[in-house]
Structure 1
Amino acid sequence: MKVTIAYIEEPPFGWTDSDGAAIGADLDLADAVLRAIGVTQIEHHLTTFSELLPGVGAGRWDMNVPLFVTPERANLVAFSLPVWAIGDGFLIRTGNPKALNSYASLAARRDARLGIIAGQVQHESARAAGVSEDQIVSFEQQADAIEAVRSGAIDAYASTAVGNRILADRIGGSVEAVDHEPGEDGSQCPPIGAFSFNKSNGDLINAVNQQLRLYLGSPDHRARMAKFGLTHKEIDPALVC
């Protein structure tokens, strides 16, 4: 049995290492779950964020790495059970010269520019907090947004808090990560992420969900995720929210 899973370059969730292998927390979780349900061949397909949903919807691959669940996306694909719950944060230049620590703080600085990846949920979160469209700069690739922060073309790049912490540690020196305060959007639980599939692929969806019920929160799951910097803070809310 072969399954092809699409991923994007977004550490710590997924990326291509120097040997050309696809690695990351989401891919490690997929590997554990798929092997447990009898998949013997797993193929990784690198793509862009904007192609994830159209690609799986068109059957170009079987499943996507987890992404945030929204009602709009649920109209296009079938989501698995939640596998993580993660709040947003900023990647900024070291020293945080404009004191940006939330979408609201950025909205209050009319001279501040925010980078987002086109189509990601951070766009709507920023708009809901009052960030205007003329403050938002869209990018197709994370690497371009990071370079824009480093060069000063934008003041902050919005992504997951844990992802930005990993990026800041890897880049070092010129950038730092700032986590947003919990509940900025008024919710009690951080946004949840889940694998996504073509809605017609019911057998795979059901098998994955059955294994996720058994595996999520287990010692092996927590140990695997810890290697990539995901802790109980990202895992536990997904089990109850």
Structure 2
Amino acid sequence: MTVRIAYIEEPPFYWTGDDGRPTGADIELAEVVLRGIGVTSIAYHRTSFAEFLPGVREERWDMNVPIFVTAERAQQVSFSAPVWTIGDGFLVRADNPKVLTSYEAVAARGDVRLGLIPAQVQVDAAKAAGVSDDQIMLFNDQPEAVAALMAGRIDAFAATALGNRATAATNPALDAVDVDAGKPGAELIGAFSFSTSNPDLREAVNAGLRGYLGTPDHRARMAKYGFTRTEIDGVVGRAPDA
């Protein structure tokens, strides 16, 4: 049995390694769970964030790596049991020269430009806090946004706090700042997603997740990528939200 899974470039969750193969915390999780339910072959498809939901909905592949669960997305795809809970954060230049610690702080300064990726939950969080359209610059992916930050074209890039910490740890010119996005709890939950016409795979993955999440092996694998008890304990034993 072969399962096709899509991913994007967003360390430490998923990215393409130096050897050209997908790697990352959620890649390892997918491989352990899929092998555990009898999958013999995994085919990875690198794509863009904007193509995640259309691609799996149209069955161009079978599942997506974990993304945030939202009510709007749950109308388009089926989500697995949650696999992590993570808040928002900013990537800023070292020492955070404009003291950007929240979306409200961005909105309060007309000279600040915020980098975002279209359709990610951070776009809604920024706009809800009053960040104006002319303060927002959109990018295709994390590497493109980080390059713009390094070049001074934006003052901050909003993504997951964990992902930003991982990026800053490898680049002394950048700092990571955790922010309070003010999002409802469900929007902080990440899960695999599937076509609504493929309930068998979703349920098989859920069965695998129920037996694996929170185990010593799971915690050890995730710890390599910066995950702590905070990101894991909040979802262990939780049922799917959609």
- Shorter-chain TM range is over 0.9
Offset at residue 189 of structure 1 (A): 7.3
Alignment of 1:76-95 (within 5 A): 76-95=76-95
Offset at residue 110 of structure 1 (A): 1.5
Which whole-Å CA distance do the structure 2 matches of 1:66 and 1:217 have between them?
Answer: 17
* Structure 1 partner of 2:72: 72
2:223 to 218, 222, 226: 226
* Structure 2 partner of 1:102: 102
1:208 to 2:205 alignment = yes
Which whole-Å CA distance do the structure 1 matches of 2:29 and 2:60 have between them?
Answer: 21
Offset at residue 216 of structure 1 (A): 0.9
The amino acid of 1:45's aligned partner reads H
1:192-224 CA-partner distances (Å, limit 9, x unpaired)? 010000111111011111111111111111111
1:57 to 2:27 alignment = no
Offset at residue 188 of structure 1 (A): 6.0
Which whole-Å CA distance do the structure 2 matches of 1:143 and 1:151 have between them?
Answer: 12
Offset at residue 70 of structure 1 (A): 0.7
Further displaced range: 230-239 or 88-97? 230-239
* Structure 1 partner of 2:123: 123
Structure 1's consecutive aligned runs of 4 or more residues displaced over 4 angstroms after TM superposition are 186-190
Secondary structure of the equivalent of 1:239?
Answer: coil
Long gaps (5+) in structure 1: none
TM-score, L = length of structure 1: 0.95
Alignment of 1:1-241 (within 5 A): 1-170=1-170, 172-181=171-180, 184-185=181-182, 187=184, 191-239=188-236
Q: How many residues align?
A: 238
The amino acid of 2:146's aligned partner reads I
Which whole-Å CA distance do the structure 2 matches of 1:240 and 1:213 have between them?
Answer: 7
Contact 1:86 1:190 in 2 (8 A): no
Which whole-Å CA distance do the structure 1 matches of 2:9 and 2:186 have between them?
Answer: 26
The amino acid of 1:166's aligned partner reads A
Which whole-Å CA distance do the structure 2 matches of 1:58 and 1:75 have between them?
Answer: 14
1:38-69 CA-partner distances (Å, limit 9, x unpaired)? 00101111111111111111111000000000
Contact 2:69 2:187 in 1 (8 A): no
1:17-57 CA-partner distances (Å, limit 9, x unpaired)? 11111100011000011011000101111111111111111
Secondary structure of the equivalent of 2:217?
Answer: helix
The amino acid of 2:174's aligned partner reads V
Which whole-Å CA distance do the structure 1 matches of 2:186 and 2:58 have between them?
Answer: 32
Contact 1:113 1:136 in 2 (8 A): yes
Distance 1:201 1:140, change over 3 A: same
Contact 2:214 2:233 in 1 (8 A): yes
The amino acid of 1:177's aligned partner reads A
The amino acid of 1:107's aligned partner reads A
Which whole-Å CA distance do the structure 1 matches of 2:39 and 2:237 have between them?
Answer: 28
The amino acid of 1:20's aligned partner reads G
Secondary structure of the equivalent of 1:64?
Answer: strand
Contact 2:91 2:176 in 1 (8 A): yes
Which whole-Å CA distance do the structure 1 matches of 2:229 and 2:141 have between them?
Answer: 29
Contact 1:190 1:237 in 2 (8 A): no
Distance 1:240 1:190, change over 3 A: farther
Offset at residue 186 of structure 1 (A): 6.1
The amino acid of 1:180's aligned partner reads V
Further displaced range: 209-218 or 60-69? 209-218
Which whole-Å CA distance do the structure 1 matches of 2:46 and 2:183 have between them?
Answer: 35
Q: CA RMSD in A?
A: 1.4
